[in-house]
Structure 1
Amino acid sequence: MRFPRFRLLVLLVALSLLSACSLRPTTTLYRLDSGNPETPERNGPAVLLGPLTLADYLQREDALLVQRHEDGHLSTASDARWAGDLKADVDQLLLRHLAWHLDSHRLVPEPGAPGFKPDVQVQLNITRLDSGPQQPAVLEAQWRLLDRRGHLSESRLIRLQEPHQGSSADQVRAQSLVLQRLAERLAVAIRPLAEQQAQAAAAAAEPRRSTRAAAPKAQAKPPRTPDIPIATPTRNVEVFRF
């Protein structure tokens, strides 16, 4: 009689484990949506993207989606997390969309590449990127644009907002859209600065080309005749013999 009781006990334990697993919420993984930006085909402006920083509350080890509520407090979703490093996703999304809007494949993430000299460097600090079941996706950031010499050319604060339907999937879609719009705004600010840098470089190179073209060629000197002493007649010299 003991063996059937043991089998019954094992069956009860297995059923309890199965019921516990079925009650555990399933976690869904998400990544930012980059859309379908076209691949650039020309040598447009050279841009260095970075350093890019995210607010501390977004850099979580558990990678759970942050939820903002009506009273402003933050919590984490129990069933949704980022599939990878959020900062790396933001970097790649901005890089692809900037390249598309600028029609240039000369975009490099910070720290750059050996020999790469950017026309413009973009320093970006994202201080807010979140949403909630009842709150829209909001992005708040500050960008700083540096010229070729590393001098500050422009600094701007920006706030973008996108509504959604409340689900985690739609919140991620809305956050992706505000990042795409940020890249579009950045491209508008970068384009005139890059053109100004290109014109300045061309103007600086023009005097050097003009100087080289105006320099007269050195005239060849005629071959020098060697100095040979001229023979002169000698005077009559008397010779005495002893």
Structure 2
Amino acid sequence: MTLVRVSRLLLLTGLLGLGGCMSKAPTPLYQLDSGSPAIPQKANGPAVLLGPIQLAEYLSQDNLLQRQADGSLLADRDARWAGRLSANVDDVLLRQLAGRLNSQRVALAPAIGFSADVQAQLNITRLDSGPTQPAVLEAQWRLVDKAGQLRDTRLVRLQEEHQGSAADQVRAQGVLLQRLAGEMAETIGPLSRQLAESARKAEARAATATKEKPSRIPVAEPVRNGAEVFRF
């Protein structure tokens, strides 16, 4: 009887040990890659306010989403984002835009006390991929000047192929954000120079008008009404 009990105890211990060996490995965490943007050298480069950046609500998931062949989305239980995806997107776009514009004066909205030449508002409506589906980014940006006037708006759809693994899907999505920042910079750069030149010309015209404006000094004229009174 004692031998049977010992055998059962050994069997139970073995099963528990086996269960421990078969426990699930830690879930991998992923971040979008910002690439290798150049460190901005100009302290007086274009002043750009980036944001608000709106990310589609379905992208607020902690797990990576996998686009299926029928267009549906499934959460990948074996792959999670390292932190909030929205914050990761903000960081990638900020670094990329600053590097491409070669300007230290690029800030994320809201930035209290920051005077921007151009504000770049962005709405990302899609950013996902799947094991057999390419990475796709769909977005719209709007460029606004200091006066709040809309200067440019663009709808974009970008696509990047990958090898199918979660890691390569994340790489492809990061590449799409880098390309988006590149397209935005190609528009923001010329626009900021145009606005700066317009501001300089306006200041020059105002200064010239002030110099040419005749001074009006009141002349005293006597009014005779029994007594000599001077009116101005």
Q: Shared fold (TM-score greater than 0.5)?
A: yes
Aligned residue for 2:51, secondary structure, equals: strand
| CA RMSD, Structure 1 to Structure 2 (Å) | 2.4
1:25 and 1:79 in contact (8 A); partners too:
no
Unaligned stretches of 5+ residues in structure 2: 216-232
Matched with 2:19 is 17
Matched with 1:124 is 122
- 2:86 counterpart of 1:87: yes
Give the deviation of 1:4 after TM superposition. Answer: 3.8
| C-alpha distance in structure 2 between counterparts of 1:90 and 1:212, whole Å | 48
Alignment match of 1:176 (pick from 144, 155, 174): 174
Residue-by-residue CA offset, 1:207-226 (whole Å, 9 max, x unaligned): 34335656899xxxxxxxxx
Give the deviation of 1:10 after TM superposition. Answer: 5.5
Q: Which of these two proteins has the greater Rg computed from alpha carbons?
A: 1
**TM-score, scaled to structure 1:** 0.81
Unaligned stretches of 5+ residues in structure 1: 218-242
Residue-by-residue CA offset, 1:58-114 (whole Å, 9 max, x unaligned): 001xx1111001111110112111111111111111111111111111000000132
Matched with 1:48 is 49
1:148 and 1:197 in contact (8 A); partners too:
no
How much identity, in percent, do the aligned residues show?
51
Aligned residue for 1:166, secondary structure, equals: coil
Matched with 1:71 is 70
* Map 1:54-203 → 2, pairs under 5 A: 54-60=55-61, 63-114=62-113, 116-203=114-201
1:29 and 1:80 in contact (8 A); partners too:
yes
Residue-by-residue CA offset, 1:30-60 (whole Å, 9 max, x unaligned): 1111111111111211000000011111001
Q: State the number of aligned residues.
A: 214
| C-alpha distance in structure 2 between counterparts of 1:38 and 1:12, whole Å | 57
Matched with 1:8 is 10
Aligned residue for 2:70, secondary structure, equals: coil
Give the deviation of 1:191 after TM superposition. Answer: 1.4
**TM-score, scaled to structure 2:** 0.84
